[in-house]
Structure formats: structure tokens, C-alpha cells
């Protein structure tokens, strides 16, 4: 009997250590009404686990989750990722509109979405440059002239985006944002690959970053894929 009481007390104490993350969402996107949203994490770096789900009703939705550590999750609609959300204790607010998405209310989410906004700004500049390229083609400019005008700016923007991504991950090597953004950026590839950008990121990474389940699994598989490709090339 005493043993049972001990177990129950330990369970209560452990439960009390976990803090709650309350997420209140608001959307002005009409097509989201009636849709089911899912809050998913990858605790082992591979398998996606649903933490909570809800239906969007009149533009509003909410999630609740116990958190004992900060973790980067993703908000899904069906199989499509809508946006990242850092699960941290406290009350978080999610805004979804036609201009974009944002999470506020916690220091990690604030830091993440400052990065997302800056990356979006640079990507919008890339889109505008693409439109200028299309316009020049319609106006009859030669490929050489288009490259002369567009090429340097396009190259600089691509470098600015990569530098921004690298700096954010490196600045957050030792907290969940570093591995979390690594997963968001490179987890969308069809298969793990070792790009020059990834090599630069992992070259200076501390052991704690490399031990993250997703990072560890990705790097091991990417190196294996690279080795297989090199062997295949040599045999041709």
C-alpha cells in the first residue's frame, strides 16, 4: 500500500513539473474555417507525433499542451505544414492572414518570427526580381542583357538568405531554435544531402547540436548517401 502511495506521489510531483502552453489562434483566411489543424512534433527526429488538434471555427482555434522543455513544433492542415510554433510555457498567440503568419507571446517564438520576417522580406525581393526578369523577356531583351541586369542582384539575394539562415542556426546552436530551424529548412528536401551550406553549419556546431535526433539522423543519412553516390560514380 505504501509503495502504491509513493508511486502516486511521484507521478503527481512529475506532473507538477510540467508547465502548460496555451495557444490561441485567430485567422482572417476564410478558407481555413471548418478545417482541422494539427500540432505535430518529431521527438525522435523522424516520426511525427500529434500533440493536439482542433477545428477552426469562425476564424478561431486553440491548442493546449504540457511542456517540460522548449520544442519546435509545426502546425499542419492535413499533410501540409502551415507554420512553425515553438512550444514554450505561457500564453501564445497565433495570427494567420493573407499577409503571412506569426506567433507571439514567448521569447523563443519572438526570436523565431523576427528571423522568419527577415527571410520573407528577402524572398519577396527575389520574387520581384523574377517578375522583372519575365518582363524583360517579354520586352525582347537578350538573355545576355537580362543576366547582366538581374544576375548580380539575384546572386547577392541568394547569398543574403543563406547568410541569414546560417547565422540564425549558429546563434541558436545551444537552444531548440537551432536544430528546429535546421529541420524546417532541410527536412523539406526529397532526401538528405550534404550541401556546402550544411557543411558550413555543422563544421562549427557544438556536440549538443549534433546530438539532436533530427540533425544526427539527417547528417548520418546524408553522408551515407554521398558515399553511395561517390562509389557509383567511380564504378561508371
Q: What is the pLDDT of residues 20-42, one digit of tens each?
A: 899 999 999 988 899 999 999 98
Please give the mean pLDDT across all residues of the chain. 89
Q: How confident is the model at residue 66 (pLDDT cuts 50, 70, 90)?
A: confident
Q: What is the mean pLDDT of residues 199-208?
A: 96
88-110 in b/e burial notation, b at 16+ Cβ within 10 A?
A: bbeebebbbeeeebbbebbebbe
Q: Is the pLDDT of residue 17 over 70?
A: no
**CA distances from residue 161 to 134, 170, 182 in whole angstroms, order as listed:** 22, 14, 14
**Would you place residue 18 in the very low, low, confident or very high pLDDT band (cuts 50, 70, 90)?**
low
C-alpha cell at 77: 492542415
Pairing outcome for strands 19-27 and 90-97: parallel
End-to-end CA distance of the chain: 71
Q: What are phi and psi of 23, to 5 degrees?
A: -115, 120
pLDDT of residue 174: 95
* pTM over the 0.75 mark: yes
Query: Rounded CA gap, 67 and 200, in Å?
Result: 32
Percentage of residues of the chain with pLDDT beyond 90: 72
Q: What is the pLDDT of residue 13?
A: 38
Name the band, by pLDDT with cuts 50, 70 and 90, for residue 92. Answer: very high
Amino acid at each position: 500500500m505504501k509503495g502504491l502511495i509513493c508511486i502516486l506521489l511521484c507521478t503527481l510531483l512529475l506532473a507538477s513539473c510540467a508547465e502548460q502552453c496555451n495557444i490561441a489562434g485567430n485567422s482572417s483566411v476564410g478558407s481555413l474555417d471548418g478545417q482541422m489543424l494539427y500540432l505535430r512534433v518529431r521527438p525522435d527526429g523522424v516520426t511525427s507525433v500529434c500533440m493536439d488538434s482542433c477545428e477552426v471555427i469562425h476564424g478561431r482555434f486553440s491548442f493546449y499542451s504540457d511542456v517540460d522543455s522548449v520544442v519546435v513544433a509545426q502546425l499542419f492542415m492535413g499533410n501540409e505544414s502551415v507554420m512553425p510554433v515553438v512550444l514554450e510555457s505561457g500564453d501564445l498567440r497565433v495570427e494567420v492572414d493573407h499577409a503571412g503568419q506569426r506567433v507571439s507571446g514567448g521569447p523563443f517564438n519572438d526570436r523565431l518570427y523576427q528571423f522568419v520576417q527577415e527571410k520573407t522580406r528577402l524572398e519577396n525581393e527575389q520574387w520581384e526580381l523574377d517578375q522583372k526578369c519575365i518582363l524583360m523577356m517579354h520586352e525582347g531583351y537578350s538573355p545576355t542583357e537580362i543576366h547582366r541586369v538581374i544576375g548580380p542582384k539575384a546572386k547577392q539575394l541568394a547569398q543574403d538568405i543563406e547568410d541569414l539562415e546560417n547565422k540564425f542556426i549558429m546563434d541558436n546552436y545551444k537552444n531548440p531554435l537551432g536544430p528546429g530551424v535546421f529541420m524546417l529548412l532541410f527536412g523539406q528536401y526529397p532526401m538528405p544531402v550534404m550541401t556546402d551550406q550544411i557543411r558550413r553549419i555543422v563544421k562549427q556546431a557544438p556536440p549538443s547540436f549534433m546530438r539532436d535526433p533530427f540533425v544526427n539522423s539527417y547528417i548520418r543519412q546524408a553522408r551515407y548517401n554521398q558515399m553511395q553516390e561517390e562509389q557509383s560514380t567511380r564504378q561508371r
